[in-house]
Amino acid sequence: MKKTSDSILKTEDLCKFYGSGDNLVKAVDHINLQIRQGEFLSIVGKSGSGKSTLLHMLGALDNPTSGKVWIDGENIASFKEGDLSKIRRRKIGFVFQAYNLIPSLNVWENIVLPLGLDGKPIDEPFVKDIINTLGLTDKTKNLPNTLSGGQQQRCAIARAIATKPCIILADEPTGNLDTKTGDEVMTLLKASSKKYGQTLVVITHNEEVAQMADRTIMLADGRIVSVSESEVIFDEKN
């Protein structure tokens, strides 16, 4: 039974530990977090702070050592891999730094690929609206190697949105882009997530990206050390 809550993502005492004894690494250390429906949350912190590990558990890509993860009201802690796979396909859209496009498929085929994998019909008007919103209308027949980095990332964003997930998880989505292109991509990602009513969670080292968010959490040593609604303190070495 689903919980009645405006939280689309929630963790309870979430832990991910590796090793043991003197070699014990607490990648995520007793994190309690609630992310609201429609919220744009950024996650920041130094390398090794636990950002990606946390995102992977929020996205059902990794299992916790202990604790719980709620996705759209369902506790997935005890789900088997088949059920986790369904959650990932139907509830979550992923955007990674490396784009992860299929080289032999054109833009349109890359965008609708997850729908085919899940046996869903293609909502062509919806997909075309996404493509138009992201400025790819004249690129639908192009192969990825003919696109700029920014265009490839916009294609990856369109692919993430096309399945109509309630959550978009993005891990350093501007990491391989120059500053101007990165700003454009993030503006489009934020606008498209708002347009389609999706919750957006972004890992970033970029202060400007973080400041676009409704809320920012900072991690250190696997724990939340600060929460900000309007500004984030950054280590310039990041």
Instruction: Reply yes or no on whether the pLDDT at 33 is more than 90.
Output: yes
Give the model's pLDDT for residue 6: 80
**pLDDT category of residue 230 using cuts at 50, 70 and 90:** low
And the tokens for 33? 């977090």
Residues 6+ apart with CB under 8 A from 145: 103
Average the pLDDT over 18-42 and give the result: 92
Long-range contacts, 100-106 (Cβ 8 Å, 24+): 100/156, 101/144, 101/152, 101/155, 101/156, 101/159, 102/144, 103/143, 103/144, 103/145, 104/143, 105/143, 105/144, 106/140, 106/141, 106/142, 106/143
Give the model's pLDDT for residue 99: 87
Average the pLDDT over 75-84 and give the result: 86
Average the pLDDT over 132-153 and give the result: 94
Q: Residues 173-201: pLDDT tens digits?
A: 888 888 888 888 888 889 888 888 899 99
Give the model's pLDDT for residue 93: 92
**Portion of the chain with pLDDT greater than 90, in percent:** 58
E strands, the chain, in order: 7-18, 25-36, 40-44, 66-71, 74-75, 92-96, 167-171, 199-203, 215-220, 223-228
Q: Which CATH superfamily is domain 7-228 in?
A: P-loop containing nucleotide triphosphate hydrolases (3.40.50.300)
Tell me the average pLDDT of the chain: 88
Q: Residues 85-118: pLDDT tens digits?
A: 888 888 999 998 888 999 999 999 999 999 988 8
Give the model's pLDDT for residue 157: 92
And the tokens for 69? 């993860």
**pLDDT category of residue 4 using cuts at 50, 70 and 90:** very low
Per-domain boundaries in the chain: 7-228
Predicted TM-score (pTM) of the model is 0.87
Q: Give residue 160's identity as a one-letter amino acid code.
A: A
Of 236 and 228, the one with more pLDDT: 228
